[in-house]
Amino acid sequence: MIRKLSWLILLIVPVIYGCSQFYYQSPVTKFNHEAHVDILFQQKRDCFFCHKLPSIETMIKSGGQLKIAADLKIDGKCHSCHRDVPTKVASAPQNCSTCHENMKVLKPADHVNNWNTLHSVPAKLDSKTCETCHKQWYCESCHSKQNSLENYRHSRSFKLKHSLEATIDPGSCDKCHRVDFCITCHRKG
């Protein structure tokens, strides 16, 4: 046990010593590491407030040296300090692109291609999570057509009548469905 602890200490010291050299690049490519380090150290928080150590195997393979910030995975979440509503610690910019260049990187794993047709149950259970990224106008851009925020479903006669709706307003399907949705049934040839 003491031997493992000694190895762990030998591996951690170079990491702590070298933390100030890192500049984290992804997914937040506009991240000012130095500004955050100073503030966090003033609050008596160390590198591990945001970063978690890599596995022991990774540390052994690298000889205890971490060459880039990506070797220290981000464990903390920016919004645990940076909130939409200003706090004593920090407030988030109102425009996500202030910090995030590639918004697709931030897209949750459950937001699959047909997410817009599946989101009603999770949204009803925990709308605050949705509001982390989506503002009220985002929901209204689709749901205002139904004059409600209830889950919109087509009537039973939809398959028979949808060609009329699509002829009148060809873009209406795209409000909820991906462009390739129609191809599922309407294949050429």
Query: Nearest CA to 69 among 12, 18, 1?
Result: 18
pLDDT, position 86? 59
How high is the pLDDT of residue 1?
Answer: 61
Q: Give counts: helices (H), strands (E), the chain.
A: 8, 4
More confident residue, 84 or 27: 84
pLDDT tens across 56-79, in order? 777 677 776 655 544 555 555 666
Per-residue pLDDT at 44 exceeds 80: yes
Q: Which residues contact 92 (CB under 8 A, 6 or more apart)?
A: 78, 79, 82, 83, 84
**Model's pTM, two decimal places?**
0.34
Predicted confidence band of residue 37 (pLDDT cuts 50, 70, 90): confident
Please tell me which of 27-36, 100-109, 159-168 the model is most confident about, judged by mean pLDDT.
159-168
Q: Is 99 exposed, middle or buried (0-12, 13-18, 19+ CB in 10 A)?
A: middle
**Interior angle at CA 158, CA 154 and CA 163, nearest 5:** 125
* pLDDT tops 70 at residue 20: no
User: From CA 119, how far away is CA 138, in angstroms rounded?
Assistant: 13
Please say whether the beta carbons of 97 and 105 come within 8 A. Answer: no
Residues 6+ apart with CB under 8 A from 11: 56, 59, 60, 64
Question: How far is 83 from 121, CA to CA, in rounded Å?
Answer: 25
- pLDDT at residue 33 is higher than 60: yes
Q: What is the mean pLDDT of residues 3-26?
A: 48
pLDDT at 180: 74
Higher pLDDT: 7 or 118? It is 118
> What value does the mean pLDDT of the chain take?
67
In this prediction, residues 92-109 reach a mean pLDDT of 70
